[in-house]
């Protein structure tokens, strides 16, 4: 495979693609191209049409009109296998690897080399696996005989990409590849993408994250409502991309910070808090302020949240809530004491998926009412009841009796917030409040957090999204290895925070 210089003719070209689903026009007249040896970032909100476009490229869907050209030749893929044979590999968020097989077996699945007796040539398979893996930074860690299911997510992703390379893929599509990765793993992935680029592979990189676009992309295409909203031949400022995605300015994306007058007395004070994960936690959150908590995966941020919430309690130290000493041993006790928590994983920790929007909102208030009380009590009242709260959240649902499963991530998140509004908590802990929700819904959540703070709650926000921590919080604390290692006021830079989070320096808190 020779690597053509970037800037040559497109390897893949999609022209005037239109696709309609019953009742929805998913794509209208979208044109898009990628050249060999370049990374083309494809960005847009959820529902903008990114996945549909990729599915048309890979033969999962067929376009109503328009053409797909591979090296200038029109192609018609009726099935993903055909596009794969033509050299187009799509790396989805869920991998296609077989978890019970070895790395080598996965790489050569369905095309195992044979000895002259017709048996599988294991030695050759291992040797060639090592050759392919040697292209990647993670190669040293990966044994071809390792069972894939025992590898971490980032390494599995490398194997998946290596598999694409070993089948001779000339076009690689990556669908939000960093969604499950931590900082260090992201860096490795970026190095992998660089390797592919220098080998002349054309890469389509789908992401939400501005930082990744700046780091990786050669060109950017923004989709909005099924149309190309903007095309950039050089990577522009993030603000410009966001404006194209959202269709409006981001001046009011984050809510205005707290003014001095809005910040009240401390609602939460922790002195010397510790348990198996946490060490010497000193922390104060005041009424009316939003405190951001940054750090890499495993730094103990979620452990701190769960300690405050009584799920994995502190074993040492003192916790004071609104001036009273407390020692919560269960979430129930913490909720009674005035703490609320929005979990980090909506599906597995937040929602009861088989129930309605209203039922999800009422879960907590029902848990503290008598067991035999009517389940409709306070359901429909307009201002004080759950429907009033759901109205206030501006939840988009056909009806509050609708199953919550059918709602978008942002609306599901709002229903969980509504759960806490009915309890009027003094301290609210948000864990990754905007993970997996689209840009407009994010802005909604930021303003909602600010409104709650203005009403007198103290808010602790844990987030792995640094621009969010910087933009939405009044102060930022940084955790590392179970300790709070740094504190910043408003206006801290991502570099400063990353430096503290990765142990660059022990900045005095």
Partner 1 sequence: MSDSTARPRAARRRLPRVNPVWLLLAALILAIVFMNPGFVEPTGYMNFLKRAAPLAILAAGQVYVIVSGGFDLSVGSLITLVVVGSSMLTNNDPSATVWVIPLMLALGLGVGAVNGAIVCFLRVPSLIATLGMMITLNGLAFLWSGGAPRGYLPDTFRFFGRELIKDVPLVRFIPVSVIVLVVVVGLLTWLMHRTNLGRQVHAIGDNPVAARLAGVAVNRVRITAFMLSGLSGALAGILLGGFAGVSTDVGTGYELQAITAAVLGGAQLLGGRGSVPAAVGGALALTAIFTLLNFLGLPQPVRQVVQGLILIAAVALAMHRREETGT
What is the side-by-side strand order in the sheet with 339-342? 339-342, 427-431, 458-462, 290-294, 475-480, 483-488
Task: For the CB of residue 397, give the shortest distance to partner 1 in the complex, in Å.
Answer: 5
Dihedral sign (CA 60, 64, 66, 72) = positive
Task: For the CB of residue 13, give the shortest distance to partner 1 in the complex, in Å.
Answer: 34
Task: For the CB of residue 25, give the shortest distance to partner 1 in the complex, in Å.
Answer: 16
What span, in angstroms and rounded, lies between the C-alpha atoms of 168 and 35?
16
Q: Which is nearer to partner 1, 315 or 375 (CB)?
A: 375
Q: 363 forms bridges with which residues in the sheet? A: none
Q: Which of 336, 337, 279, 328 is nearest to 307 (CA)?
A: 328
What span, in angstroms and rounded, lies between the C-alpha atoms of 457 and 287?
5
Q: Which is nearer to partner 1, 143 or 227 (CB)?
A: 227
Q: Which is nearer to partner 1, 48 or 296 (CB)?
A: 48
What span, in angstroms and rounded, lies between the C-alpha atoms of 434 and 450?
14
Task: For the CB of residue 337, give the shortest distance to partner 1 in the complex, in Å.
Answer: 11
Task: For the CB of residue 69, give the shortest distance to partner 1 in the complex, in Å.
Answer: 36
Tokens of 202: 């054309």
* Contacts for 325 with CB less than 8 Å, ≥ 6 apart: 318, 319
* Contacts for 1 with CB less than 8 Å, ≥ 6 apart: 168, 170, 199, 200
On whether the CB atoms of residues 457 and 426 are closer than 8 A, the answer is yes
For residue 269, the number of C-alpha atoms closer than 13 Å in the C-beta half-sphere is 9
Q: Which is nearer to partner 1, 304 or 476 (CB)?
A: 304
Q: Which is nearer to partner 1, 376 or 424 (CB)?
A: 376
Q: Which is nearer to partner 1, 52 or 364 (CB)?
A: 364
Tokens of 453: 């703070």
Task: For the CB of residue 452, give the shortest distance to partner 1 in the complex, in Å.
Answer: 18
* Contacts for 41 with CB less than 8 Å, ≥ 6 apart: 205, 206, 207, 212, 213, 216, 217, 219, 220, 221, 235
Task: For the CB of residue 342, give the shortest distance to partner 1 in the complex, in Å.
Answer: 9
Q: Which is nearer to partner 1, 170 or 366 (CB)?
A: 366
Task: For the CB of residue 444, give the shortest distance to partner 1 in the complex, in Å.
Answer: 12
Q: Which is nearer to partner 1, 147 or 369 (CB)?
A: 369
Instruction: Report the b/e string of 133-158 with b at 16+ CB within 10 A.
Output: bebbebeeebebeeebeebeebbbbb
Q: Which is nearer to partner 1, 261 or 370 (CB)?
A: 370
Give contact residues for partner 1 (rule: CB under 8 A): 309, 311, 331-332, 335-336, 341, 343, 348-355, 359, 362-364, 366-376, 380, 387, 390-391, 394-402, 405, 419
């Amino acid at each position: 495979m020779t690597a053509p210089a970037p800037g040559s003719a497109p390897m893949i070209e999609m022209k005037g693609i239109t696709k309609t689903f019953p009742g929805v026009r998913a794509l209208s007249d979208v044109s898009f191209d990628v050249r060999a040896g370049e990374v083309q970032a494809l960005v847009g909100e959820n529902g903008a049409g990114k996945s549909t476009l990729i599915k048309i490229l890979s033969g999962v869907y067929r376009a109503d009109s328009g053409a797909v050209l591979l090296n200038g030749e029109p192609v018609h893929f009726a099935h993903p296998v055909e596009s794969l044979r033509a050299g187009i590999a799509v790396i989805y968020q869920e991998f296609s690897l077989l978890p019970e097989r070895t790395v080598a077996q996965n790489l050569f699945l369905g095309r195992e080399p044979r000895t002259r007796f017709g048996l599988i040539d294991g030695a050759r398979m291992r040797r060639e696996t090592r050759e392919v893996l040697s292209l990647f930074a993670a190669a040293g860690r990966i044994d071809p005989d390792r069972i894939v299911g025992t590898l971490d997510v980032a390494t599995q992703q490398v194997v998946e990409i290596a598999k694409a390379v070993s089948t001779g893929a000339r076009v690689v599509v990556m669908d939000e590849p960093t969604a499950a990765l931590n900082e260090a793993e992201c860096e490795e992935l970026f190095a992998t993408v660089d390797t592919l680029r220098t080998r002349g592979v054309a890469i389509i990189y789908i992401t939400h994250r501005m930082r990744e676009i700046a780091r990786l992309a050669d060109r950017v295409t923004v989709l909005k409502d099924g149309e190309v909203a903007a095309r950039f031949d050089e990577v522009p400022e993030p603000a410009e991309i966001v404006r194209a995605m959202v269709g409006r300015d981001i001046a009011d994306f984050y809510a205005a910070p707290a003014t001095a007058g809005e910040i009240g007395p401390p609602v939460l004070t922790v002195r010397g808090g510790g348990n198996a994960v946490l060490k010497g936690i000193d922390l104060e959150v005041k009424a009316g302020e939003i405190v951001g908590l940054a750090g890499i995966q495993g730094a103990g941020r979620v452990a701190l949240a769960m300690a405050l919430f009584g799920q994995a309690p502190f074993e040492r130290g003192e916790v004071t809530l609104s001036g009273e000493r407390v020692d919560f041993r269960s979430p129930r006790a913490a909720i009674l004491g005035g703490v609320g928590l929005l979990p980090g994983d909506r599906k597995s920790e937040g929602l009861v998926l088989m129930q309605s929007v209203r039922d999800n909102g009422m879960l907590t208030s029902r848990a503290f009412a008598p067991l035999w009380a009517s389940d409709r009590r306070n359901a429909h009242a307009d201002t004080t009841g759950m429907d009033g709260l759901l109205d206030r959240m501006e939840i988009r649902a056909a009806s509050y009796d609708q199953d919550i499963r059918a709602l978008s991530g942002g609306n599901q998140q709002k229903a969980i917030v509504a759960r806490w509004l009915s309890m009027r908590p003094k301290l609210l802990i948000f864990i990754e409040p905007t993970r997996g929700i689209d840009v407009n819904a994010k802005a909604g959540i930021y303003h909602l957090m600010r409104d709650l703070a203005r009403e007198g709650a103290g808010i602790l926000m844990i987030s792995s999204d640094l621009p969010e921590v910087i933009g939405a919080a009044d102060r930022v604390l940084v955790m590392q290895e179970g300790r709070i290692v740094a504190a910043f006021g408003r206006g801290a830079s991502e570099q400063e925070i990353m430096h503290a989070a990765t142990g660059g320096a022990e900045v005095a808190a």
